[in-house]
Chain A
Amino acid sequence: MKKIILLTIGLAIATLTGARAQEINIQSEINVLGQNKPIPVALSGFTGEGAEVLKFDLTVQGFSFVSPDAAQYLINGSDAGSVSGTLTDKFAKRQLLSRSYNGASLRRQAHAFADDIVQAVLNLKGIGQTKIAFKTQPSGNGVGEIYVADFDGYAAQRVTKDGAIVAKPTWVPGKLAIYYTSYWRGNPDIYFHSLSSGQRSVIAGYSGLNTSAAVSPDGSKVAMVLSKTGSPNIWVANADGSNLKRITVGDEDSSPCWSPDGQWICFATKHNERRRLAKVPAGGGTVHYLDTAGAPNPTEPDWSPDGKWIAFTSQMRDFNICVMPADGSAPAAVLVGGQNPSWAPNSRTLVFNRALGYRQTLSVLDVFTKQYKDCVRVNGSSSQPAWAK
């Protein structure tokens, strides 16, 4: 799989021009990042929630559901009472899986089966049992709350009751803990919130803007945007907010994220009155501007866990989700309409928000096939999703 992606970067350059996409259809015709076609699977025997979960999970990890004749893989089983199923490779004439599941809920069993299928076919750890955090605004007055849910939007739980503007939740890697921004004290402050204890604390509440926390891959540091010295800039502190250091000095910096090796911070900035993406050593140093030609007005970068890709939002007439190789070896690809991309642990799926009328809904996108599906909705407008990893 990884080899395929590397080999097809050249192809990506060649096919870029036709890549702009705002269509709602699930199937894509051109894939600019690598794999050309989804993996065809046929599903039989599942009728209810199990079928729904399998279709959602596998679609957003690069599979498409076709008739048995057209499929390479056959998934057969049952979701009556509990989930059981088999996976057969039709071409190799081999059964790859035969499993049944009990415990938890039928949904969780189906997610676990989907994960096993992904592992068997793609040799990737599935994302079926992962979590996201996001903000939801019930009405148009800006007030919202932070929620945590399964990655497909199910089992949403509100974790704040601030009755205030909230923003930009982000996970501590490997922990049941998040950071986010809340205006609850009357100022945008950054909170650390342990989801296991419910305890929270303000880690940055300086005069002016405190927002956009991003935790380093080892969990020890937090990058964030503060304006206490007179302009919104990137600062890095210890996880508890101590040992604060300013690392950028531009006019207007936003949305820091970390490279998975913890060496770099990528962020959005303005340079010569143009919006740019840039990266800077996490300890401070020279700012390097990134080339996002073809994807103007970039903001909201997110670096994939495998280090290869940077996803971001480009603003043309509308907002679009884009992905480019982190090493700049190919131009950015414009994928679908939306904002706020956040990578899944698998480095191929993104959660983002897209406009439905004047509200935002969360959606999950397979980058390599451009297939996406909307998450189940919490009442109101949901945005700024962050994938736990």
Chain B
Amino acid sequence: MKINQIILPLALALATTLATTGCKHTPVKTTPIPGPTSKNVNDAGNPITLPPGDKMDGGGPGTGVDTKLGGGGTAPLDEFDGMIKDPAALAANTIHFAFDSAAIKKGEQSNLDAVAAALKNNTSDKLLIEGNCDERGTEEYNRALGERRALAAREALAKLGVSPDRIRTISYGKDKPADPGHDDSAWSKNRRDDFVVLHPKAGA
């Protein structure tokens, strides 16, 4: 099953033409190409014309997205959504990783202790752990590695008594470097978990 399968009848027509006329002195035949400016082919015969734009009218995010579709338990917007992000509160406690590793370094324990203490002291807060990678890895590999870094911190925090239910993870792979440079110094800063405190939304 190919996108261009609808071209096949044209090819067959050509093949038939060649077969019936022979190859030696083939007269010039004209092949109509279906397309936007073609007058003799209807829309259904054109397999690759896309609709103009993305057909996602309405401007704002949200329109055109039906979160109810997808029969398989698509996550509804849950209690984490709408909480107020506070990236500054624990910015000093970002933890860093070795190249291509999701193992928590021993030296990061004090940072994890601080994160755990902050959550214990503010029981209505939740936590978003953002896993990141340096640029030395393929995109989807890094997306998985960043997720594993975030999950490793969640496990470590669970051992310190923070319920994993209060923690959400997200991986940015290599898409959100802390340092845009391309050297060892930048890479070591970019292999990290950032901790973002989530405060309850107003009125909640």
Contact = CB atoms under 8 A, between A and B. Distances in A.
Interface string A195-232: 11111111111111101100001010000010100111
Interface in A66-116: 84, 94-105, 108-109, 112, 115-116
A101 B30 contact: yes
B94 to A, nearest CB: 17
A197 B48 contact: no
Interface in A306-324: 313, 315, 319
Contacts of A209: 143-144, 147, 169-171
Interface in B52-90: 52-57, 61, 64-75, 77, 81
B33 A109 contact: yes
A285 interface: no
A188 B170 contact: yes
A129 interface: yes
Contacts of A37: none
Interface string B161-191: 0000000111111011000101000000000
Given A201-B69, A230-B151, A207 B140 contact: no
Nearest to A181: B143
Contact of B70 (A157, A162, A201): A201
Contacts of B136: 315
B40 interface: yes
Contacts of B106: none
**Interface of chain B, helix or strand or loop or mixed?**
loop
A251 B148 CA distance: 8
Interface string A163-182: 10101100101111000000
Interface residues of B, number: 75
A102 B29 contact: no
Nearest to B7: A129
Given A100-B29, A200-B64, A205-B75, A211 B70 contact: no
Of A94, A108, A340, A358, chain B has the most CB atoms within 10 Å of the CB of: A108
Kindly state the interface size class of chain A when it binds its partner: 35 or more
B19 interface: no
Contacts of B40: 103
A159 to B, nearest CB: 5
Contacts of B37: 103-105
Contact of B138 (A96, A299, A388): A299
A255 B39 contact: no
B31 A208 contact: no
B11 interface: yes
19 contacts: A98-B29, A101-B30, A112-B31, A140-B180, A157-B54, A167-B143, A176-B3, A195-B51, A202-B69, A206-B73, A207-B168, A230-B151, A240-B69, A252-B102, A252-B145, A254-B140, A268-B141, A299-B140, A339-B138
Interface of B: 1-5, 7, 11, 14, 23-41, 47-48, 50-57, 61, 64-75, 77, 81, 102, 136-141, 143-145, 147-148, 151, 168-173, 175-176, 180, 182
Interface of A: 84, 94-105, 108-109, 112, 115-116, 119, 125, 129-131, 137, 140-142, 148, 157-163, 165, 167-168, 171, 173-176, 183-188, 191-192, 195-209, 211-212, 217, 219, 225, 227, 230-232, 237-238, 240-244, 251-255, 268, 275, 299-300, 313, 315, 319, 339-340, 345, 358, 383-384, 388-389
Closest CB pairs A-B (n = 6): A198-B55, A104-B35, A242-B71, A201-B69, A142-B175, A174-B1
